[in-house]
């Protein structure tokens, strides 16, 4: 395994922090034991948990107003893989990378796969892109892609998705994620029903190209880049799609793609109940699709989502994909992804602490107060010792960000990778 961060440094840093960790872990363990919870069992589950990082997430993101790149921006998928390997090395929570085509296209897929293996990284769901025009593209997606009124444009989008499947097959990916920007900006611009019918027809062709052991995840979003209507606007439409396509089709939930105030955990529960929860794009948001670091704005909401996931563990066919999908505009992307992976693990660990038997009793008795308190008690548990112990046991860093900074990785790649000048956003 190629280590991006010197293993000795990781060990030295861990050494420095281990005594406190051991003490905190023991104290927490004793406290949990009072409630009949084995801390080691929880730690084991957390250690076994993994979430995919998006290849594009290791580059600095931007808005339509501007993008402010940082030092050492990755130049291509091989640079990105190395950055992802840092995240996995230190957190041990991100064993796979989710690629985006054509951004991550390479000539030699074998080389790419090999490089992933060398870095200890697998390849998660493939992401297609029909929301941008690429140089030399025959048909523009300005007015849509899979739902375009023009058949040739739809076919081009279908072909692109099938190409993504082909690339994924070579990389042992097992899923295709389809998010489209299709919609309309003005009342009247699109005929909602015909547009959706065209989308369904196109997706059926994509679906037909899925290998037997693959799944397809469709993603809904209320707005942006379309500002009046979107074709896959919410989970209701997303569910209809999954139902129309068939048993390999599932719904993907991005935490930032809903209307204000919407209760996302209920949606998660409904999709689980009806066997159509495909997975998540984790991030956090306050206003729209803000794509902030997971758990940074509303950590309790994240916990409530994981509460549903833990509740469903063991249910037949329940196997949602977990992926981060964020835009890192003002932080070092590697730091944000490490922090976010940690926050997801935190929510998972907290959800594992929920006393489900007791909770179920309170629910049955309509004891709203104690039911609520049962969740809150799990949420307010400081599970950091569990997360740190899981990382240390798996060979990661007790304090990933501090270790990363000490390693000077960012400066190292900045010396190699050329500086990128401040690019304007879409408005210019």
- By CB under 8 A, residue 353 contacts its own copies: no
369 binds its own copies (CB under 8 A): yes
Torsion sign over Cα 11, 13, 16, 17: negative
Cβ proximity to its own copies: between 66 and 414 the closer is 66
184: tokens are 């309309």
Token duo for residue 88: 């996995």
Specify whether the CB–CB gap between 138 and 156 falls below 8 A. yes
- Among 90-98, 169-177, 202-210, 233-241, which window interacts with its own copies (CB under 8 A)? 233-241
Of the two residues 14 and 184, which places its CB atom closer to its own copies in the complex?
184
Site for its own copies in 138-167 (CB under 8 A): 140-144, 149
Between 95 and 408, CB nearer to its own copies: 408
Q: Interface with its own copies by CB under 8 A: which range of 38-46, 120-128, 163-171, 219-227?
A: 219-227
Q: Which of 263, 273, 252, 244 is nearest to 305 (CA)?
A: 263
- For residue 273, the minimal CB distance to its own copies (Å) is 5
From 191, 211, 247, 412, residue interacting with its own copies (rule: CB under 8 A): 191
Using CB under 8 A, count the residues that bind its own copies: 129
Helix, strand, or coil (residue 132): coil
Q: Please state the closest distance from residue 60 (CB atom) to its own copies, in A.
A: 9
Q: Provide the minimum distance between the beta carbon of 112 and its own copies in the complex, in angstroms, as a whole number.
A: 20
Residues 274-293 that bind its own copies (CB under 8 A): 274, 285-288, 290-293
CB atoms within 10 A of CB 114: 11
Print burial letters for 195-234: b (CB count within 10 Å at least 16), e (below 16): bbebbbebbebbbebbeeebbbbbbbbbbebbeebbbbbb
Residue 136: left (phi > 0), alpha (psi -120 to 50), or beta? left
Contact residue for its own copies among 1, 12, 41, 65 (CB under 8 A): 65
Contact window for its own copies (CB under 8 A) among 78-86, 88-96, 110-118, 301-309 = 301-309
* 249 near its own copies (CB under 8 A): no
* Cα–Cα separations (whole angstroms), residue 8 to 15, 16, 102, 263, 397: 10, 12, 37, 45, 11
């Amino acid at each position: 395994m190629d280590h991006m961060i010197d293993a000795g440094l990781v060990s030295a840093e861990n050494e420095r922090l281990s005594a406190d960790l051991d003490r905190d872990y023991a104290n927490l363990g004793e406290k949990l034991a009072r409630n009949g919870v084995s801390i080691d069992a929880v730690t084991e589950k957390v250690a076994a948990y993994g979430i995919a990082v998006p290849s594009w997430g290791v580059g600095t993101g931007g808005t339509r107003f501007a993008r402010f790149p940082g030092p050492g921006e990755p130049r291509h998928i091989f640079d990105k893989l190395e950055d992802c390997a840092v995240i996995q090395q230190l957190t041990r929570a991100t064993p796979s990378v989710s690629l985006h085509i054509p951004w991550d296209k390479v000539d030699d897929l074998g080389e790419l796969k090999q490089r992933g293996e060398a870095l200890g990284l697998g390849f998660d769901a493939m992401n297609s892109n029909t929301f941008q025009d690429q140089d030399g593209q025959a048909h523009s997606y300005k007015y849509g892609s899979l739902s375009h009124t023009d058949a040739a444009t739809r076919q081009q989008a279908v072909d692109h998705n099938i190409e993504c499947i082909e690339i994924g097959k070579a990389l042992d990916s097992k899923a295709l994620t389809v998010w489209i920007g299709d919609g309309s900006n003005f009342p009247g611009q699109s005929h909602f029903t015909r547009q959706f019918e065209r989308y369904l027809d196109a997706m059926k062709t994509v679906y037909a190209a899925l290998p037997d052991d693959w799944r397809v995840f469709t993603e809904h979003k209320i707005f942006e880049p379309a500002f009046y209507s979107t074709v896959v606007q919410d989970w209701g439409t997303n569910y209809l799609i999954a139902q129309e396509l068939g048993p390999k089709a599932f719904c993907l939930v991005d935490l930032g793609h809903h209307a204000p105030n919407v209760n996302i955990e209920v949606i998660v529960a409904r999709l689980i109940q009806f066997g159509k929860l495909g997975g998540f794009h984790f991030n956090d948001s306050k206003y729209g699709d803000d794509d902030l670091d997971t758990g940074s704005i509303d950590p309790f909401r994240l916990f409530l989502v994981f509460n549903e996931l833990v509740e469903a563990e063991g249910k037949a066919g329940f196997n949602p994909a977990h992926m981060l999908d964020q835009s890192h505009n003002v932080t070092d992307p590697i730091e944000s992804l490490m922090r976010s992976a940690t926050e997801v693990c935190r929510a998972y660990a907290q959800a594992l602490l929920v006393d489900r038997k007791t909770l179920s009793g309170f629910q049955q008795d309509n004891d709203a107060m104690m039911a609520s308190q049962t969740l809150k008690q799990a949420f307010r548990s400081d599970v950091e010792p569990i997360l740190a112990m899981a990382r240390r046991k798996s060979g990661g860093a007790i304090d990933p960000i501090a270790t990363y900074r000490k390693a000077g990785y960012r400066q190292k790649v900045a010396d190699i990778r050329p500086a990128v000048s401040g690019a304007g956003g879409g408005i210019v």
